[in-house]
Amino acid sequence: MPDPDTRWLTVNRLRHRALVWNDGAPETVVLCHGFLDQAPSFRQVAERLAAAGLRAVAFDWRGHGETDHVGPGGYYHFPDYVLDLHRLLPLLASGPVHLVGHSMGGTVASMYAATHPGVARTLTVIEGLGPPAYEGEAPDKLIAWLESMDRHARKDARPIADLADAVRRLRVSNPDLPAELGYELAEAGTAPAPDGDGLIWRFDPLHRTTSPGAFDAEVFKTYLRRIDAPTLIVTGSRGFRTADHEARLAAIPDARELVIDDVGHMIHQLAPEALAGAIVAHARR
């Protein structure tokens, strides 16, 4: 499979990197990655979508991969990501669109679909029906954020020695990550440290701080109820589910769930053939 074309799109005063496979195909699948991930993470899925005759596009969210960081004084909130998708999607696809999101990207894609009826032909959410509901009180969440911001201001991120060290760190959250793919993602997701000593992650270090907002599952369900696109929820048998997963799934008017056996949260990396097949079948239902 040929390497993807790279596009640079400036929206919301940020330059976004997008990768395009099989450009020219009439239908586009837009792939939205998750938290601390990057567009190249979808390569194995995108190549299979392209082989099936679909145009595949994966982009880096703000503050991830090779897309710009928000800069001094900025921060990252779910509505910011929705705004980016609101401006990016018309530039990424001119024909029929199938929207796919993993983890955080699935939550954002769901919020986008709810607020843009009729845009997506289909929606596929991979392990992405929102984070757990916050059980504490909102002031405590804000205090935790302020403390995390103070810690962020006091120290730099621990430097990465080399690509092998980066792969080890990727495997902390994804122990099943194959070595070859791990090195591919480590190389794509790091850059030389400014002082020349080792590597740093490309994502904005602000992502290491805790979110200031308390996630409200009941509010999120009001978004889910407005999704008009046929929706496929893909989960791994060893993946992540919130305590109210069934209630969130039931809130979507036209949804079905597919559980992929013997795989965890990073389905797009560990079961790309099964996932791509499910996306193609859902797009052509």
Q: What is the pLDDT of residue 17?
A: 98
- Residue pair 54/280 in contact by the 8 Å Cβ criterion: yes
Say if residues 92 and 59 touch (Cβ distance below 8 Å). yes
**Residue range 141-157, pLDDT digits in tens:** 999 999 999 999 877 66
The pLDDT of residue 157: 66
Which helix (H) or strand (E) segment holds residue 200: the answer is strand 199-201
Is residue 209 within 8 A of residue 75, CB to CB? The reply is no
Residue 19 corresponds to which amino acid? L
Tokens of 210: 């805790």
pLDDT in tens, 202-214: 999 999 999 999 9
pTM of the model: 0.96
The answer on pLDDT for 133 being more than 70 is yes
Average the pLDDT over 53-79 and give the result: 97
Q: For the chain, give the mean pLDDT.
A: 96
| Structural domain boundaries in the chain | 1-133+216-285, 135-214
Q: Write a three-state SS string for 79-145.
A: HHHHHHHHHHHHHHCCCCEEEEEECHHHHHHHHHHHHCCCCEEEEEEECCCCCCCCCCCHHHHHHHH
The answer on pLDDT for 45 being more than 80 is: yes
Residue 71 has pLDDT above 80, yes or no: yes
Would you say residue 158 has pLDDT above 90? no
Q: CA-CA distances (angstroms) from residue 91 to 65, 94, 254?
A: 19, 7, 27
What is the Cα–Cα distance from 219 to 187, expressed in whole angstroms? 38
Cα 102 from Cα 139, distance rounded (Å) = 30
Query: With bands split at pLDDT 50, 70 and 90, how would you rate the model's confidence at 95?
Result: confident
Mean pLDDT throughout 85-110? Answer: 97
User: Can you tell me the mean pLDDT for 212-226?
Assistant: 96
Residue 44 has pLDDT above 90, yes or no: yes
**What value does the mean pLDDT take over residues 264-274?**
98
Tokens (6 digits) for 281? 């079948």
Q: What is the mean pLDDT of residues 102-113?
A: 98
Distance CA 100, CA 8 (A): 20
What pLDDT, on the 0 to 100 scale, is given for residue 32? 98
Average pLDDT over residues 234-254: 97
Into which CATH architecture does domain 1-133+216-285 fall? Answer: 3-Layer(aba) Sandwich (3.40)
* pLDDT for position 156: 62
